Structure 1
Amino acid sequence: MSVDPKGPGPRISKEKRAPAAGSPRKPRADAKRNHERLVEMAKAAFADVGVDVGLDEIARRAGVGIGTLYRHFPNRDAIVEAVYRREVQQLADSAASLLQSLSPGEALREWMRLFVDYIATKKVIAPALGSIVGGASELYASSGARITAAMSLLVERAGASGDIRADVDPNDLLRALVGFTYGNAAPGWEASARRLIDILMDGLRPPRT
């Protein structure tokens, strides 16, 4: 507020003030859409071409210029990391949403199928993750904790409902999943892994009395 010496009293200044230094700005809606689209198209390009696909090809698929891509991701490592983090987030978040729409046992089955998709993406980008500054160990540690928490929630609910045995250890189940997904490089491994999930679920059912 400023005072006009010739006027009868104070008046409100109409000057626009700049945002305080250091105050975060919310990203514009179009910038957020571009970011999400770039990550989505990067994942598709990595699967189709490989993790060494040109960044200009990712931008082309996303329908933006290469300058827009670089505003969001200054280098290849940044977009590879973004793809991986989104895959982990989607897998971890899906546990709660699946439990809202499916029985606990079927939610567990469907989540394990999504785990196959997650591993498929991870296999493609794993070599590039290793080149990220600081290495992939920190990324893997944080993602492992989130995935274990999601599996634990699903196993707890499925055990409580009687859909699976009550003595199932979620860590044992994760080890089994890793064994027939990440450890399998044969052609068509994804379909094989999904069949094994169905066999695994049959074995998890409580014994009939």
Structure 2
Amino acid sequence: MLAVATRVFMAADTEPSMRAIAAEAGVGIATLYRHFPTRESLVDAVYQDQVIRLTSGARDLLGELPPTAAMRRSMDLFGEWIATILDAGRAAGDFRSDVTTEDIAASLIGIFIVAPPSGQHARAARLLDLLMDGLRPVR
């Protein structure tokens, strides 16, 4: 169900319904709600799944490919990961609709240039928190 939800969130131009996600997954709506009682719980599960795939994926790639090829493939996967999370966050109403994947990538590059996580963890964390605040819609 998570793989289907991820795919539906990514492909949707508007916020997909839980019913549409259940139908795409080939399960009843009650089954979907039994596993994910709210839309937010589904979005959170998609996010957590993507984080796990991203972190374990790097180790898996190193097991399959030489380091340079693994690094290159991880770059592709990172871009896909940002897009997936952004789309899921938009669908849940957690992120502004005008923010692009490119905006996030450029922001991360800037943050890590001025505050490398290895040397300035506190500053990087503060800047990342500010970035997250900027992604949220004004309420």
Tell me the TM-score normalized by structure 1: 0.43
Task: Find the aligned partners of 2:91 and 2:21 in 1 and give their Cα distance.
Answer: 16
User: For the residues of structure 1 that align with 2:15 and 2:107, how far apart are their CA atoms?
Assistant: 28
- Give the gaps of 5 or more residues in structure 2: 95-104, 111-139
Runs (4+) off by over 6 Å: none
Distance (Å, rounded) in 2 between the aligned partners of 1:70 and 1:63: 14
Cross-structure match for 2:30: 67
Distance 1:114 1:77, change over 3 A: same
Residues 139-188 of structure 1: CA deviation (Å, up to 9, x unaligned): xxxxxxxxxxxxxxxxxxxxxxxxxxxxxxxxxxxx779449xxxxxxxx
> How big is the alpha-carbon RMSD for the aligned residues of Structure 1 and Structure 2?
2.3
> Could you tell me which amino acid in structure 1 is paired with residue 82 of structure 2?
I
**Match of residue 41 from structure 2:** 78
Instruction: Report the CA distance between 1:129 and its aligned residue.
Output: 5.9
Q: Structure 1: which 5+ runs fail to align?
A: 1-37, 132-174, 181-209
Which one of 117, 124, 149 corresponds to residue 87 of structure 2? 124
Q: Using the alignment, how far apart are the partners of 1:101 and 1:43 within structure 2?
A: 25
Instruction: Indicate yes or no: 2:56 matched with 1:93.
Output: yes
- On the 8 A contact 2:22/2:29 being kept in 1, the answer is yes
Which residue does the alignment assign to 1:41? 4
Indicate the structure whose relative CO is greater, using CA pairs within 8 Å and at least 6 residues apart.
Answer: 2
Is the partner of 1:52 in helix, strand or coil? coil
Q: Which amino acid aligns with 1:54?
A: S
Q: 1:91 to 1:124 in 2, by over 3 A?
A: same
Higher helix share: 2
The residue that corresponds to 1:58 in the other structure is 21
**In the superposition, relative to structure 1, how do residues 97 and 82 fare at CA in structure 2: closer, same or farther (>3 Å)?**
same
In structure 2, distance between residues paired with 1:83 and 1:47:
11
With over 3 angstroms needed to count, the CA separation of the structure-2 counterparts of 1:111 and 1:48, relative to structure 1, is same
**Larger CA Rg, structure 1 vs 2:** 1
Structure 1 residues 129, 53: CA separation in 2 closer, same or farther (over 3 Å shift)?
A: closer
Please report the TM-score for the alignment, with normalisation by the length of structure 2. Answer: 0.64
TM-superposed deviation, 1:126? 2.5
Q: CA deviation at 1:120?
A: 1.0
Q: What is the one-letter code of the residue matched to 1:91?
A: L
